[in-house]
Structure formats: C-alpha cells, structure tokens
Structure 1
Amino acid sequence: MAEQVASVGPAELATLKHLALEGALDARTTVTCAALAARLDASNQTASRRLQRLEDADLIDREIVGDGQRITITEAGERALRREYELLRRVFERDSAVTLTGVVTSGMGEGRHYISLSGYKRQFIDRLGYEPFPGTLNVDLDDASVEARARMDALDPVRIDGWEDDERTYGPAFCWPATVEHDGQRYEEAHVVAPERTHHGADQLELIAPDKLREELALEDDTEVTVHVGE
C-alpha cells in the first residue's frame, strides 16, 4: 500500500526500476555501485545511499559479495513498481476504475465489531458521508482479479486514522469508493475497506455501505458479484 512506498522518494524508485531491468525481480542479480552509478548518472556514494534506503524500506534484499552486491527485489518492492506502472497506466489509458469479480463468502464476524467502534464510526460518517451498516460484505476474488487488485494502489483512498481508547490502540484503514453489481442491479454507495493490518489476503475484499448489501442485491454465499473500485 501507499505507506510502504512513502519512505522512499522518486530517486530511489528510479533506482528500483533499474534493478528490475537488470533482472532483480526474477532472481538475485549482481550489481556494483560503480555500474549502477553510471546508469543513474550519479556518484558511487549516491548509488550506495539509494540502495541502503531501498533496503531499509524492505524493497530489496541484498548480500555483499566479492564482485559487488547480490540484490533481489522483495514483494514490497514489486508492489512499489506495480504502483508506478498503474499510475502511468492511468495517465495514458485515462481509465481510473478497477473492475474485480469474485463470489460472496461469509466472514468471521470481525467486520461488524470494528465498524461499530466509535473511533471508526465517527470518521466513516465525516469522511465517507454515511454510517455503515454494522457488517462487511466479503468477496473472494477470482485469479484474474487478485492480479488486477494491485491497480488499486494507483487510486487515492480515503484514509481512516488510527485511534486509541483506554484498553488498546486501533490501526488506520483505507477506503476506496466502489459500485457493486449483481444480476443487472447496481449499488453505487459502497466502499472497499482495507485495514493497515488485516488477516485477509490479496484474494479477498471487504466492502461497507449504508445498507446491508446482501439484502439490497439479494446476495448469498457463492453468488458472483462485480466490484468497480474507483467509481
């Protein structure tokens, strides 16, 4: 997500692109600071600092060896590159929406609890313009949509700040406007919600809305839905 990329700047991302072009996305690739500096039109010290910052941000793994440094781009580094790719894709294709498909599934009931907490509820009302129904619609994405979900990183989310009460601290979340479609019906006031720390993987979506989406769209477990994120 965006916070994973925020710790590095454009210069480090440019370095990450060069490493990817050298093959570091697919396998450990040996580079030297001198060769990297030449490609970046920078000094050896500058190249070394950029590699250190990428490593500190967990965007690369590296090992110092006799003939240079063996570097692999991490999953977080790949996500950072995909975000840059999706930003350029938006520029040239002028299509900001991301369309995902999957099937409705029953969640574990945690969504109802967290959405009902006052620290989140106030922000949903202020920033989304409604009080969510106490519960989330859970969608298991198909394989193509799991890959396409990375495009959401190029969309600007609504940030829900973390907060704390007398008992514990609650982390931030991010919301993207979404339209849910099933059997010719469309619900246009929903949001995809993604906590910063979550048990869900990239193959699942959680959606909130002012109404109970299962009732509004006559949804049951295993019903196929289409979610247009960014609409």
Structure 2
Amino acid sequence: MRTSRIRLIAAAGAALVALALTACQEGTGLKDEGAGTSQPNATATADTPSGSAKDDSASNEPSGTGNKDTGTGDKAGGGDKAGTGEKAGGGSTNGSDGGSQARVICNGSNTTVGAKPVPRPVNHMLITVENSGSRTCDLPYYPVLRFDEMQWVPQPVKESKPQAVVTLAPGETAYAGVLLSAADGSGDGGTTAHKLTVAFQGATPNSDGGPSAVPALPADGVYYDSSMAVTYWQQSMDDALTY
C-alpha cells in the first residue's frame, strides 16, 4: 500500500514537470504573453500620431492651393484695369463736362420770353429774354418780330448794335426795345395786334436760330404802324429803351 502511494506521487510530479516543459517550448508562458501584449500596443501608439501628422499636412496643402486661388483672384482684382475703364470715364471730363459748358443759341426752347408796353419812352414796348436752360446761350443780332399775320419785317435800329454778341448765363436776362408807332402820327397802316411771334437769328445774319417764342400781349392788344423798329439785343434794359 505504501509503495503504491509513493509511485502515484512520483508519477504526478513527473506529469507536472512535463507540462511545464511543454508550455515553455510552445511559448505560452507568462513571459511570452507579456512581451506579445506590450509590443503591439507600443507599435500602435507610435503609428497613430505619425499617421495623424500626415493627415494634417495633407489637409494643409489644399489651403495652400486656396491661397494660390486667392492670388489669382487678386489678378482678377488686377482687372482693376476695369478701373482703367474709369479712365474712359475720365474721358467724360473731356466730352460730357466740356460739352455741357459749350455755348448754344438762345431761342424759344431754352428761354422765357416776355413782351409788354412801357410808359416811357412813349409808344415803346420792351421784350425780355431770360435764359431758362442749363447752358450759356448767345443772342446774335436782333429779334425778328411778327404781329398777327403781318407780311413785312420790322427793321433794326442800326445805332443800337452792341460791340459784342450778348451772352446769357443760366438765369440771366437780355432785352430789346420796340418802337411801335411814330409819336407824330406819320406812320402808315396803323392797326392793333393781339399776337406776337419772336424769332431768333443764328450765328449768321437772317439764319434760323431755332424755335420761336410767342409771348402773351395785353388783353386789349398792341397798336403799331409802318414806322415800327426794333433794337439789337442789349445786356441792360436802359440800353434797350434808349432808342
């Protein structure tokens, strides 16, 4: 009995020794397991930041490309040569501004015309022309008058011819005096008119200066005869009523 127990113990010990040796040879021991576990973890930890850095640099490259695009956009801004197009606008300084200052002929389209008899001198009427436009205008020579349907043209008073053409800035007024009839009754064909047409001359004598004007006359009309005469355009009312 004792001998059998000793044999059993010996067999069990041998089995344990054999099991331990087998485990060591197959690499399944604690030492191998610890090494196997820690090494992959260390490798993974080292790889991860490295991969992230690559990703970051890759993401930076497109933004760099975006800067190039911005630079290209600046070239489009260089299309501020469209700003050079503003030089073309600057050409407006030569054209439109200068054009707006160019003088024109005064006529019925850019003036306001009035006509009324005056107490002194006797048998006289005063014609006024105010520049109601936006540009300076010239009044060459004298007004061409026509009462109603008269078939003749009143002659100018030669002594009234000014030394220079009358020029009106916007808002300014010029004048012409009209001798309606002879004070001594020597005129012929006296009649009363109810309509007056004032025509304007151009840059050359008897040329068309543009639209005429039809100023209102007094309700009882204006009496005139064959002695009617008109002055040249004058810069002042006193000069217009001198003749």
* TM-score normalised by L of structure 1: 0.26
Please tell me whether Structure 1 or Structure 2 has the larger radius of gyration of its CA atoms. 2
